[in-house]
Amino acid sequence: MTIFNYDPRLVKTKNSYPKGPNDWKRFFSFNTDAKVIGIQYIVTALFFLLIGGLLGMLIRGELITPPSDLFDPTVYNGLYTMHGTIMLFLFLFPILSGLTNLLVPPMIGAPDMAFPKLNALAFWLVPIFSIILLLSFFVPGGPASSGWWSYPPISIQNPLGKIINGEMLWIIAISLSGISSIIGAVNFVTTIIRMRAPGMGFFKMPIFIWTVLAAQLLQLLGLPALTGGAIMLFFDLTFGTSFFRVEGGGDPVLFQHFFWFYSHPAVYVMVLPVFGIFSELFPVYSRKPLFGYKFVAVASFGITILSLVVWVHHMFYTGTPMWMRNLFMFTTMLIAVPTGVKVFAWIATLWGGNIRLSTPMLFCLGGLFNFIFGGITGVMLATVPVDIHVGNTYFVVAHFHYIIFNTIAFGIFAAIYHWFPKFTGKMFYEGLGKVHFALTFIGATLNWLPLHWAGLLGMPRRVASYDPEFAIWNVLASIGAFILGVASIPFILNMVSSWVRGKSAPPNPWKAIGLEWLLPSPPPHENFEEDIPTVLNEPYCYGLDKPFVEDEQFYIEKSLKKI
Amino acid sequence: MLTENQNLSLNHKPGHIKHDGHNMTGFIIFLCSESIIFFAFFVGYSVLKISAPVWYPTGINGIDIKMPLINTVILVSSSFVIYFAEKYLHKKNLWGFRIIWFITMMMGSYFVYGQYVEWSELTFSLQVFFQVAQVLVMV
């Protein structure tokens, strides 16, 4: 059944960047090397983190006083819509794709991804759709302003009657982002299934690989539903069809189903790799094997399957029938089981470990702490009576920021610090890293913890002006947001400065076990090249005296020679 | 067990692990994913149909079944025809390939024609054409 015999290794050796693998210009070219693409993704995404963060600080600047005095409410609508869209589609998805690109091939001993050119295409779609999205600030009527979920009928109102409007550009950008994600997902799944090192059976893969596989399968199963919904929304908006228009016999709630069928699992697409990062880092920094490796691995797939049947919990207050509410309350609560397995395993890994509080570990611990908190408010929100009471208030905003920023972004920062020496070949400054962590943790807690109270008292989300009784919580939150803004300074300083003039990194600075740590820092163009190691045992055998790969000493010596 | 071990030892020559034919794996994964998009359309159609008080929407008195059926049969069967064309190509029988390829193209052209006839008969598509014309004028 094979159509072509296509060996990426043979093709790739020829067409990497022509001027040599260490030319800095390769980061600005259509390079097919997964490591270059990974860094392209991460840098682009961090740039959009700054833009999204700036919008977030503008929102908090508006909300520091009860009346809407900084912006017109219409402008405010555009701000929070773009803040959400940029943070999700231009920061979190690209940065996780970037980390996955960097980590998957070395971790499974593959030279590169299965489809290197498709991989580059998936990356280069990101700047294209981000320009389209940012252009929408400059079209008449401003950017999309119906929230990141873009519910009809608000999203298809098109008050100015122009064909090219912010909402239309938003839909095009989201669809392109979907195409990019699908290309990426096909690539990751094929790579993980087909290109593992000899001896690396499924139950010898690192947990990060398990979670990436689970997350990308979820992407493949869920994302087309959003694309389908977006196409129908586009037709309703531009061509006057009535899929979601009540006056033409359409059903606006149908769009909510399409949207949440993907967009709830999307949270798991983002959080699963972060679970993988936690599972990688806790054993390294507490010098113990991961507790319950197989359970943690299989729990990822439990989350994948369950997360496909929970989407209606976003719609408890949009006229959902009672039987449906109860059913989806039940499935949503079930998802706490595989998640709880993971949390339990991490805590058991930490228990009695020889814990090193370096920057990546601090971010991991902070992320775990916040995740437990955000998970508990998640279970609260899954309960129908609570959800009907606090749905669409700041309680929901606080909950999902606790997951999306305080867990996912913390995990991403941890991963960036942990693997920074490996992929740049330079050590970062530990002190600046700790300052970054302290500012981030204080800022994030101060930003979103008070909003829980504001939400429970009934402050609705997505409003530019609010009742003065909520003022105290909002002032606290705004101060937190500005501290978070300041926190980006030590981070950028650290990354740029240590990459340019930092100390050279040894191949394995953290004494970690894993295929990627057997490579020199930075790894050569095709990772292990001709000598792909044979995996003997499951990962994380810290202190167990079990060799991870056959002939480990050979690879250690080889990696040291390359410096 | 023995054969497995032998295979492992044979395959495990560093640098000689061949990963051929990722294309098929990738293609199958992509197909599974893309079928969800059509699943979304079909779900949308059935939900709209079930929840509508009267089906069809006002102003439409039912859709012609015969023409779409012929079109579907032609479209689906053309994929079998093109499969035989590929067979001939692999056998290096160029004329056989050309003839069957031509038949496939004819079937495709008929399908496009059929689509044109179907869409031009629908009354509610007028609005779409009107708006497209507006876009063209604006550009």
**pLDDT average, residue stretch A18-24:** 62
The letter for the amino acid at A443 is G
Q: How much is the pTM?
A: 0.89
User: Which of residues 3 through 22 in chain B touch A, CB cutoff 8 A?
Assistant: 8, 11-12, 14-15, 17-22
**Which backbone phi and psi does A386 adopt, to 5 degrees?**
-65, -40
Residue of B17, B32, B37 lying closest to A228 (CB–CB): B37
Confidence of residue B66 (pLDDT cuts 50, 70, 90): confident
Q: For residue B124, give both structure tokens.
A: 């509610």
Q: Which of A54-58, B89-93, B119-123 has the lowest mean pLDDT?
A: B119-123
Residue of A2, A221, A222 lying closest to B21 (CB–CB): A2
Residues facing residue A535 across a β-bridge: A549
Q: Where are the domains of chain A?
A: 362-494, 502-563
Q: Is A1 on the interface with B (CB under 8 A)?
A: yes
Torsion of CA A310, B48, A149, A403, to 10 degrees: 0
pLDDT digits (tens, 9 = 90+) for A262-319: 999 999 999 999 999 999 999 999 999 999 999 999 999 999 999 999 999 999 988 8
Q: Is A547 exposed, middle or buried (0-12, 13-18, 19+ CB in 10 A)?
A: middle
Cα(A277)–Cα(A418) distance, integer angstroms: 10
Burial B11-28 (b: 16+ CB within 10 A, else e): eeeeeebebebbbebbee
**H/E element, A421:** helix A410-424
Chain A residue whose CA is closest to B47: A254
- Geometric angle at alpha carbon A209, from A206 and A215, rounded to 5°: 145
The per-residue pLDDT for A562 is 57
A4 and B29: CB-CB below 8 Å?
Answer: no
CA-to-CA dists, residue A325 to A261, A267, A307, B4, angstroms: 15, 20, 16, 51
The per-residue pLDDT for B17 is 42
**Which backbone phi and psi does A354 adopt, to 5 degrees?**
-95, 80
Q: Is B122 on the interface with A (CB under 8 A)?
A: no
Cα(B85)–Cα(B103) distance, integer angstroms: 9
CA distance A136 to chain B (A): 18
Average pLDDT, chain A: 90
For A400-523, strand residue ranges (E) read none
Cα(A182)–Cα(A173) distance, integer angstroms: 14
Interface contacts (A, B; CB < 8 Å)? 131
ipTM (interface predicted TM): 0.82
Q: Is A198 on the interface with B (CB under 8 A)?
A: yes
**Which backbone phi and psi does A209 adopt, to 5 degrees?**
-65, -40
The per-residue pLDDT for A317 is 87
Residue of A221, A239, A530 lying closest to B36 (CB–CB): A221
Is the backbone peptide bond immediately before A421 cis, with ω within 30 degrees of 0? Answer: no
Contacts of B127 in chain A (CB under 8 A): 239-240
Contacts of B43 in chain A (CB under 8 A): 257
Say whether A460 sits in a helix, a strand or coil.
strand
Cα(A263)–Cα(A308) distance, integer angstroms: 10
Q: For residue A381, give both structure tokens.
A: 């929100």
Say if CB A361 and CB A349 are below 8 A apart.
Answer: no
Cβ neighbors of A356 (< 8 A, separation 6 or more) are A285, A286, A287
Confidence of residue A557 (pLDDT cuts 50, 70, 90): confident
The per-residue pLDDT for A4 is 40
Confidence of residue B74 (pLDDT cuts 50, 70, 90): very high
Q: A25 pLDDT exceeds 50?
A: yes
Chain A residue whose CA is closest to B14: A531
Q: Where are the domains of chain B?
A: 1-55, 60-139
String of DSSP letters for A133-176: HHHTTSSTT-B--STTTT-TTGGG--TT--SS-HHHHHHHHHHH
CA distance A379 to chain B (A): 29
What is the DSSP code (8-state) at residue A91? I
Say if CB A534 and CB A198 are below 8 A apart.
Answer: yes
Residue of A115, A228, A239 lying closest to B41 (CB–CB): A228
Contacts of A225 in chain B (CB under 8 A): 36-37, 39-40
Nearest residue to A506 (alpha-carbon basis) of A520, A493, A518: A520
Burial A343-360 (b: 16+ CB within 10 A, else e): bebbeebbeebeeeebbb
Q: Is B44 on the interface with A (CB under 8 A)?
A: yes
**pLDDT average, residue stretch A124-144:** 92
Q: Is A456 on the interface with B (CB under 8 A)?
A: no
Residue of A3, A224, A241 lying closest to B37 (CB–CB): A224
A531 and B15: CB-CB below 8 Å?
Answer: yes
Q: Is A9 on the interface with B (CB under 8 A)?
A: yes
Say if CB A167 and CB A155 are below 8 A apart.
Answer: yes
Tokens 């960047």 -> residue: A17
Chain A residue whose CA is closest to B137: A163
Q: Which of A77-81, A112-116, A246-250, A466-470 has the lowest mean pLDDT?
A: A246-250
Cβ neighbors of B99 (< 8 A, separation 6 or more) are none
Q: Which of A90-99, A242-251, A384-393, A508-517 has the lowest mean pLDDT?
A: A242-251
The per-residue pLDDT for B122 is 67
Q: Is B30 on the interface with A (CB under 8 A)?
A: yes
**pLDDT average, residue stretch A364-393:** 93
Contacts of B42 in chain A (CB under 8 A): none
Contacts of A220 in chain B (CB under 8 A): 29, 32-33, 36
**pLDDT average, residue stretch B69-76:** 92
Q: A6 pLDDT exceeds 60?
A: no
